Chain A
Amino acid sequence: MSYFIDRRANAKHKSAVNRQRFLDRYRTHIKRSVEEAVNRRSITDMQHGEKVSIPTRDISEPVFQHGQGGHRSIVSPGNREFDEGDRLRRPSGGGGGDGSGEGGASNQGEGMDEFAFSLTRDEFLDFVFDGLELPHLERKQLMDLEEVKPVRAGISREGVPSRINIVRSMREAQARRIAMRAPIRRALREAMEALEEEECKDPVLRNPSRIQELKDEIERLEKRLESVPFIDTYDLRYNNLVNQPTPSNKAVMFCVMDVSGSMTQSHKDIAKRFFLLLYLFLERNYEKVELVFVRHHTAAKEVDEEEFFYSRETGGTIVSSALTMVDDIIHDRYPPADWNLYVAQASDGDNWDDDSTTCREILSKSLMRQLAYFTYVEITPHAHQALWEEYEAVEADFPSRFAMRQIVEPGDIYPVFRELFRKVEA
């Protein structure tokens, strides 16, 4: 006797819990792999998962086993040249396998020293951004109450038919039926008892009019019992929705980069990675992230991504032109009340000397008041110049919303990024 069951519609990912337990247990190992991967990977592939390897010995499940040595006898298949009594040199790297027939159709280990597996994209990014936090995420929550989201808020007596809560309505109906029928039932029971008592009496003592009266009463009560409605409009309950103001889910990220002659392609690649990390990070925190690319030499220009990273310009550097442009764009398109504003600036530190003070003024007077966060990375192995010093003054004024770090080589990007967004212990 056999029967077939189609289980294809059943939930998959039955192992999700076990998988997560495994990832949690080897968190430190996986984190190390992920960090290496972030530094190694080309920028465009940040969106994929990652293959992670953990040394097998670190995750082995130990059992009592025989070790090397002693006297062992091994039977193997596929003899071609040996004859009884042949003496063989012991192969290096431990015996010819003990061939005890372990493993069924497949063997996962394959004698690898590394246990390799793949993280999904989400898991990968979880590890990348583990322990990081956006500064001032809460700021916008207070300011804009315009965006609302309907949320369930209990049960109400009024509502539209599509929101009827059937279970609750039926429960109410049943309660009402019980409550309304109880007194009728009681009266009915009393009437029946009285009738029975009357009928049990000696025929001589019976009171026919009383019997008729009781019978009428019973009939009337039964009718009333029947007329209690099964469900009444009074019983209906609706799922209640209220509009709850939600914090703004929109963010805009301004990528500001110096493209003057002194910025080489490798500088730009480093900057690009930094921007990308920031973008991914913002993307995980906001539903919608818009990107604005502003590049500058002596004059600033808003460009698309391709041009931003790959076209070359020459000439001098005036940083304030870009900052002014950002300020204008914010003013025109991204009212600070609706948007969480982030600026990431990358440069090699060159600037016209007198321009650096102008930059500080723009930042302190206008920009910093609107931004959620400003990050500045200086990609240079050399000593800092005037811009850095001026920015240090800004950092002193806005310590919680302004951050700057120096990057010398690609390997610094991830550590610097982590440092910038480290979770602040309360």
Chain B
Amino acid sequence: MSKTRKTPIATGSDWNFEVIAEFEREIARLADEYRLDTYPNQIEVITSEQMMDAYASVGMPVGYHHWSFGKQFLSVEQAYRRGQMGLAYELVINSDPCIAYLMEENTLMMQVLVMAHACYGHNSFFKGNYLFRTWTDASSIIDYLVFARKYVAECEERYGVAAVEQLLDACHALQNYGVDRYKRPSPISAEEEALRQAEREEYLQTQVNMLWRTIPLAGQGLDEDAQDDSDDPLGLHRAGRYPPEPQENLLYFIEKNAPLLAPWQREIVRIVRKLAQYFYPQRQTQVMNEGWATFWHYTLMHRMFDEGLVDEGLILEFLQSHTAVVHQQPFDSPYYNGINPYALGFAMFTDLRRICETPTDEDREWFPDIAGSDWLETLHFAMRNFKDESFIQQFLSPKVIRDLKLFNVIDDDQDEMLTVAAIHDERGYRRVREALSVQYALSVREPNIQVYAADIRGDRSLTLRHVQDRRRPLEKSVYPVMRYLHQLWGFTVRLESIEGDEVARRYQWPLPNEGAPD
């Protein structure tokens, strides 16, 4: 030990504010050595009941009221009572300042661990990762949430709880399709939002009215293929499809174009859409985000132990907790619940450091650019510029595949049997890596559904197109979702599943008169 050993800041499992504040300072000092750039931390000490409240509102410190959050709360409460779930671990809000919660029942070790994990791990990820930088505005989210809550409450007063709930149900069903995947949204700011809201209501309505005006514009319908049609001598139906390009953001399209929505309803669609957009990066960076935070709590705790700031009792308690968190159940275990993002992420970041510090020949072959490079620089680079999909594609090493014994199975409904396509061997590494990367791609996980056409000159029906990916059909839940979509649109909605160039299936709501859904 080169450094002089200090005495532990505290021993035992009890904590108080002075002690955790001192630990926090030490963690901050070490994090600074590792160049972890964070938002300021707002660390809130709360009770377990408050923690359950926080969990239930899916990580929003202030949320509008909706029964689904109540459902969430009840299930969290049930799990906690049965002891199936430690609430302790972390809850951290991507905001500036970054809000993290410490539960008062936690032991001292847990408080230190959560601070290292959330306040420096997650926090630096929120601030550094390109997706968060591009898609979310940490400084304004809390204000926006307050605005949203107030607005929804006002609507409930004015139009009734039932009407608002109905609308929110419909919006929630479509919220995964309420994001701009490629275009950066304008940052949301609560003040502006409130100021412009009334103005926008009016403006939006005029926009919609423009769109639905049935008077044809002169000069339209003169394209070559629209020759004279005896059914349509005035060319009313020849103006081309609307929207001209398919739209991926369903909620945005509805907000701007649904013919019958009242202004307040459009505003609520917008609120749900904005919040979906805020959570969008989190859905794409689970492995990285948890892996990064876990890697840093592990590293920081060990540094503190090396410096003598924590004693052996605490580090042992920590190791036990850490091991449980990064444990990966094998696929045939009754407790298997998918790949544990903590385990995979932690293994990858740890291995990345190993590749930089002590590369083997295999590493030099697989990662010629980074083998032997400065590990801290490489890790920061990886954290900043990737999402799960590309992170795995770039950095999943043969060693991690071997350690986790990953294998790839192909399940094709045209084949009676399953086929093991690749395992953790020389021939399989690349295929496993490819397959795992695809597994984390949001575009593959969620059906690709876009707005294809709105028949603004005819029956006002809305048509969506689902481009089938590897022949995978839609789940039955498509019908209730279509019903919600119909509520929002107000006229018939159709959905076509496209396989190749052909329409493989059609769905419609309201159901065509004869025949029930199969």
**B interface footprint on A51-81 (CB within 8 Å = 1, 0 otherwise):** 0000000011111111111111111111110
**A interface footprint on B52-75 (CB within 8 Å = 1, 0 otherwise):** 110011000000011111111111
Stretch of B251-259, B309-317, B414-422 on the interface side:
B414-422
Are B330's CB and A78's CB within 8 A?
A: yes
Report chain B residues within 8 Å CB of A24: 67
The answer to whether A426 has its CB under 8 Å from any CB of chain B is no
Question: In the complex, which residue of chain A has the Cβ closest to the Cβ of B80?
Answer: A106
The answer to whether A381 has its CB under 8 Å from any CB of chain B is no
User: Number of contacting residues on B, CB 8 A?
Assistant: 116
Assuming A73-B421, A82-B407, is B79 touching A108 (CB within 8 A)? Answer: yes
C-alpha spacing A68/B340, complex, angstroms: 23
Are A7's CB and B420's CB within 8 A?
A: no
Question: In the complex, which residue of chain A has the Cβ closest to the Cβ of B56?
Answer: A15
C-alpha spacing A80/B424, complex, angstroms: 10
The answer to whether A44 has its CB under 8 Å from any CB of chain B is no
Are B338's CB and A100's CB within 8 A?
A: yes
Are B424's CB and A14's CB within 8 A?
A: no
C-alpha spacing A108/B76, complex, angstroms: 7
Are B440's CB and A2's CB within 8 A?
A: no
Stretch of B137-145, B197-205, B226-234, B427-435 on the interface side:
B427-435
Are B432's CB and A19's CB within 8 A?
A: no
Are A19's CB and B447's CB within 8 A?
A: no
User: Number of contacting residues on A, CB 8 A?
Assistant: 72
C-alpha spacing A319/B251, complex, angstroms: 72
Report chain A residues within 8 Å CB of B56: 15, 18
Assuming A104-B341, A105-B342, A117-B78, is B52 touching A15 (CB within 8 A)? Answer: yes
Assuming A4-B17, A75-B436, A78-B328, is B71 touching A115 (CB within 8 A)? Answer: yes
A217 to chain B, nearest CB (A): 53
Stretch of A83-91, A132-140, A223-231, A410-418 on the interface side:
A83-91
C-alpha spacing A209/B477, complex, angstroms: 99
- Which of A20, A62, A84 interacts with B421 by CB under 8 Å? A84
Report chain B residues within 8 Å CB of A82: 407, 420, 423
Are A83's CB and B420's CB within 8 A?
A: yes
Stretch of B297-305, B454-462, B468-476 on the interface side:
B468-476
The answer to whether B242 has its CB under 8 Å from any CB of chain A is no
The answer to whether A103 has its CB under 8 Å from any CB of chain B is yes
Report chain A residues within 8 Å CB of B378: none
Assuming A69-B471, A75-B436, is B331 touching A102 (CB within 8 A)? Answer: no
The answer to whether B104 has its CB under 8 Å from any CB of chain A is yes
The answer to whether A331 has its CB under 8 Å from any CB of chain B is no
Are A1's CB and B173's CB within 8 A?
A: no
The answer to whether A201 has its CB under 8 Å from any CB of chain B is no
The answer to whether B333 has its CB under 8 Å from any CB of chain A is yes
Are B66's CB and A21's CB within 8 A?
A: yes
The answer to whether A203 has its CB under 8 Å from any CB of chain B is no
Are B330's CB and A75's CB within 8 A?
A: no
Are A15's CB and B57's CB within 8 A?
A: yes
The answer to whether B363 has its CB under 8 Å from any CB of chain A is no
Are B331's CB and A76's CB within 8 A?
A: yes
Most buried by B among A3, A23, A75, A117: A75
- Which of A66, A72, A116 interacts with B78 by CB under 8 Å? A116
Report chain B residues within 8 Å CB of A22: 67-68, 70-71, 73-74
The answer to whether B411 has its CB under 8 Å from any CB of chain A is yes
A345 to chain B, nearest CB (A): 41
Question: In the complex, which residue of chain B has the Cβ closest to the Cβ of A73?
Answer: B435
C-alpha spacing A99/B411, complex, angstroms: 13
Most buried by B among A2, A90, A96, A107: A2
Are A25's CB and B439's CB within 8 A?
A: no
B416 to chain A, nearest CB (A): 7
- Which of A1, A60, A80, A110 interacts with B405 by CB under 8 Å? A80
- Which of B70, B407, B435 interacts with A79 by CB under 8 Å? B407
The answer to whether B194 has its CB under 8 Å from any CB of chain A is no
**B interface footprint on A15-42 (CB within 8 Å = 1, 0 otherwise):** 1011111111100000000000000000
Stretch of B38-46, B126-134, B211-219 on the interface side:
B38-46
The answer to whether B183 has its CB under 8 Å from any CB of chain A is no
C-alpha spacing A351/B56, complex, angstroms: 60
The answer to whether A162 has its CB under 8 Å from any CB of chain B is no
Are B474's CB and A66's CB within 8 A?
A: yes
Report chain A residues within 8 Å CB of B65: 17-18, 21
Are A64's CB and B472's CB within 8 A?
A: no
Are A74's CB and B409's CB within 8 A?
A: yes
Assuming A7-B50, A64-B481, A101-B287, is B472 touching A79 (CB within 8 A)? Answer: no
Are B331's CB and A77's CB within 8 A?
A: yes
Q: Which of A200-217 contact B (CB under 8 A)?
A: none
- Which of A2, A15, A59, A67 interacts with B474 by CB under 8 Å? A67
Report chain A residues within 8 Å CB of B24: 2, 4
Most buried by B among A64, A66, A76, A96: A64
Most buried by B among A72, A79, A107: A79
- Which of A3, A12, A110 interacts with B47 by CB under 8 Å? A12
Question: In the complex, which residue of chain B has the Cβ closest to the Cβ of A67?
Answer: B475
- Which of B73, B332, B344, B477 interacts with A60 by CB under 8 Å? B477
A108 to chain B, nearest CB (A): 4
C-alpha spacing A106/B89, complex, angstroms: 10
B181 to chain A, nearest CB (A): 15
Question: In the complex, which residue of chain B has the Cβ closest to the Cβ of A4?
Answer: B43
The answer to whether A6 has its CB under 8 Å from any CB of chain B is yes
Are A100's CB and B41's CB within 8 A?
A: no
Q: Which of A356-384 contact B (CB under 8 A)?
A: none
Report chain A residues within 8 Å CB of B428: 84
The answer to whether B408 has its CB under 8 Å from any CB of chain A is yes
Report chain B residues within 8 Å CB of A77: 328-331, 339, 404-406
Are B43's CB and A2's CB within 8 A?
A: yes
Are A69's CB and B472's CB within 8 A?
A: yes
The answer to whether A131 has its CB under 8 Å from any CB of chain B is no
The answer to whether A264 has its CB under 8 Å from any CB of chain B is no
The answer to whether B85 has its CB under 8 Å from any CB of chain A is yes
C-alpha spacing A183/B287, complex, angstroms: 76
Are A87's CB and B49's CB within 8 A?
A: no
The answer to whether B172 has its CB under 8 Å from any CB of chain A is yes
Report chain A residues within 8 Å CB of B476: 67
Report chain A residues within 8 Å CB of B436: 75
The answer to whether B290 has its CB under 8 Å from any CB of chain A is yes
The answer to whether B20 has its CB under 8 Å from any CB of chain A is yes
List 21 interface pairs A-B (beta carbons < 8 Å), by A numbering: A2-B28, A2-B40, A4-B20, A6-B44, A18-B56, A24-B67, A64-B466, A65-B446, A65-B474, A66-B474, A72-B472, A73-B421, A73-B435, A74-B439, A75-B436, A77-B331, A79-B407, A79-B423, A84-B427, A90-B416, A106-B84
- Interface residues of A, Cβ cutoff 8 Å to B: 1-8, 10, 12-15, 17-25, 59-80, 82-90, 95-108, 110, 115-118
Q: Contacts A6-B44, A14-B57, A65-B475 given; 16 further ones with Cβ under 8 A?
A: A2-B28, A3-B43, A18-B56, A18-B69, A64-B446, A64-B466, A64-B478, A65-B477, A69-B473, A70-B469, A71-B412, A77-B404, A79-B331, A82-B407, A97-B331, A101-B439
- Interface residues of B, Cβ cutoff 8 Å to A: 17, 20-21, 24, 28, 40-47, 49-50, 52-53, 56-57, 65-79, 81, 84-85, 89-90, 104, 119, 161, 165, 169, 172-174, 176-177, 286-287, 290, 325, 328-333, 336-342, 344, 388, 404-414, 416-425, 427-428, 432, 435-436, 438-440, 445-447, 449, 466, 468-478, 480-481, 484
